[in-house]
Structure 1
């Protein structure tokens, strides 16, 4: 038995044969596959971050603030800018929103428990669920007369009542479709279950005007959580800082499962520097939204089928062979994402120049790559 076979033999049975998360990290002229913000951190913020890290560097011989008190206060203040007051005691953070989701499943999932999500949605939801020994159930999207990727309250509630999950994931705006949920869906799902309802709002800052946030529903609902990230709108994907807002009783429970001192002093310093310059960090959001809407309009003009988006990406269909189109775009130096939905690809909204490169490459391919969706 070779090493790989020995490891496979020792691996938990429910993990055998599974594939790890693996969005391609390729050196290409136009990388639009992982919904990163294409704009670099502004120089003035880089200087502030550098000074913040320098200030804590001499103390790295000591553990960081385990309670990340200043950071929770900063995140609470930022969320409160939306008009819904959030207290520091309601905030939790981790190394990216994936760690925050992991903490939630470690605390409220586990063997003998079930999590439900409405597919297609964020691919890490089932992966993280499985790693905690929680059973995963694929709920279905699609509303007659509206769209294959929509989700209404009636359909969501019916599936919640059928499967009786301990954890429900609602993704709004949804990844990879870009579609947002009405608060009626969130409220209906919450009222239909006795379990935890996680509203993943990683792309909330990119939503179109009038798109509601589930932050407004938190008061009086200790079983509801809203997760956010600094990776997207804040252009801080490399900083690895995700966070959530919930009832203080729920955030306190997460202390039972987090690793000691899980947020480094450097991470806390960098995130605080970014929050201190929030307005500047978010200046590119409007530009990205403009490029997103440009993509929707231009892709439709090419005869393809874009999904209207409230995120910083666009899912578009009408392709005869999506993997083939993905490879053809890559050959032209443009990397997008094949999310596994037949006839569809997903593209991140980048700079105007990146958008032009993508649209030019796609236009050249349409005559031979477009095809009717069954």
Structure 2
């Protein structure tokens, strides 16, 4: 690439991507590892077959039915005019930066957090600002607000539950960040990709939308809905925000097949989300067992567990792979991250891990 006139802010970067290895137990990218329920697979097939009859025409550019169904799922008084969707929540975040970031503007987030944020910033020529967390990776309302006032970013990304730590933010953090960004007119995005896995009583930033036109809540159907392969992300925000995103979206950006798949899934919410409670049980089981093994798992509101207390995390990662178990090395010394899979997958991970630690 050095021979090409590549933009300077892209030189030296590596593309995002977790290892894709052919091993029996794959618990590294926070997928919903439960199989798609047969009734939902049939419904998706039927909906896509119907859409296929019209594939010679462009799809509904405004994806009205999909927005209506997403608004109904979210509740909290959200209307279809407040909903926007794209090809995965990464495209949602990219469109937000295309509209509110760009040259001369900045994005603030708080590492360790989702590693795509700086890459999305580079791709949109938005300056990236790495904020600070506490020693235990916590983010308080006071600290976050102070950093927003000091840096005056154009956009803030708050990941809640946070990836890779799994911890959810209190609404006081979101409120404080939003208020601190008043003078700089900062757009505040709460990335709730794992929201459906929260512990009971953990609130969603959807509660804060009324009266806050610069607040955006991003979601995905990749995780709880087991639709990682379908690529459907969405957001809820003030109607003015969705109008702004129409200025940067590509024409007909959501294919008829994508729309049909998501609509079919939303017609079967109960069947798809039935596995969420089992995933949460396996997550809590992982936390309990890792604690018993003398490790340091973080309390998780997501479908994965971030854990520390490891002398050599990369070496342990490799030994787990050799035993057929793939987890994620997120590059934080002494820590790994594991997705909560099925009961059998979780058992395999815990069994192999305990054997390796004993050795």
- Of 118, 122, 125, the residue aligned with 1:130 is 122
CA–CA separation in structure 2 for the residues paired with 1:219 and 1:129: 28
Q: 1:107-186 alignment to 2 at 5 Å?
A: 107-142=99-134, 148-186=136-174
RMSD: 0.8
Which residue of the partner structure matches residue 71 of structure 2?
76
Q: 1:1-374 alignment to 2 at 5 Å?
A: 4-7=1-4, 10-80=5-75, 84-142=76-134, 148-193=136-181, 194-367=185-358
CA contact (8 A) 1:149 1:179 kept: no
- The DSSP-based 3-state class of the residue aligned with 1:262 is coil
CA–CA separation in structure 1 for the residues paired with 2:156 and 2:77: 25
- The DSSP-based 3-state class of the residue aligned with 1:347 is strand
CA–CA separation in structure 2 for the residues paired with 1:209 and 1:38: 22
CA–CA separation in structure 2 for the residues paired with 1:207 and 1:58: 40
Residues 43-84 of structure 1 show CA distances to partners (whole Å, capped at 9, x for unaligned) of 11111111111111121010000001100001000001xxx1
Q: Which runs of structure 1 show a deviation greater than 4 angstroms over 4 or more consecutive aligned residues?
A: none
Residues 295-333 of structure 1 show CA distances to partners (whole Å, capped at 9, x for unaligned) of 000001001110010000000001111111110100000
Query: Residue 38 of structure 1: CA displacement?
Result: 0.6
Residues 185-241 of structure 1 show CA distances to partners (whole Å, capped at 9, x for unaligned) of 100000000210000000000000110000000001000000000000000000100
- The DSSP-based 3-state class of the residue aligned with 1:140 is coil
Which residues of structure 2 form unaligned runs of 5+?
Answer: none
Query: Residue 6 of structure 1: CA displacement?
Result: 1.6
State TM-score, norm by structure 2: 0.98
- The DSSP-based 3-state class of the residue aligned with 2:356 is helix
